[in-house]
């Protein structure tokens, strides 16, 4: 059983569309991170959210941390083929060193 559940698992959309992926848990996290992984490469950190209700923007990507710090979402506006990849959320519990990774959302943006 995954501590962090991501949905959807797969998403195929047309260039220009908007999308939202979700990261949910029954546990509280002190912070949550989002990574993007491209084929043949390791995950790359996109953002860290720390405060419940926090919203961060990275160009066309908007990240939100739930008020209760149990969930997070990633919204992409006007998706581009370069956004294609595996999106992973990862949570930190309390002062733990461990990053707990979600199962991932595999995104394909078709030109």
**Min separation Cβ 60 and other proteins, Å:** 21
**Min separation Cβ 69 and other proteins, Å:** 14
Among 17, 28, 44, 78, binds other proteins (CB under 8 A): 44
Residue 83 sits at φ, ψ, to 5 deg, of -85, -10
Would you say 43 or 85 has its CB closer to other proteins?
A: 43
Query: Binding to other proteins (CB under 8 A): which residues in 49-68?
Result: 50
Taking a C-beta distance cutoff of 8 angstroms, is the pair 94, 100 a contact? no
Cis peptide before 8 (omega within 30 of 0): yes
The span of 14-22, 55-63, 73-81, 88-96 binding other proteins (CB under 8 A) equals 88-96
Strand order from edge to edge, sheet including 55-58: 5-7, 19-24, 71-76, 61-65, 55-58
88 part of the interface to other proteins, by CB under 8 A = yes
């Amino acid at each position: 059983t995954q501590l962090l559940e991501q949905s959807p698992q797969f998403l195929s959309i047309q260039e220009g569309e908007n999308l939202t992926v979700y990261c949910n848990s029954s546990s509280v996290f002190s912070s949550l991170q989002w990574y993007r992984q491209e084929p043949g490469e390791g995950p790359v950190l996109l953002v860290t959210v720390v405060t419940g209700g926090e919203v961060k923007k990275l160009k066309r990507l908007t990240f939100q941390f739930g008020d209760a710090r149990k969930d997070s979402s990633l919204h992409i506006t006007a998706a581009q083929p370069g956004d294609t990849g595996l999106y992973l959320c990862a949570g930190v519990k309390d002062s733990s060193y461990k990053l707990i990774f979600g199962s991932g959302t595999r995104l394909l943006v078709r030109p």
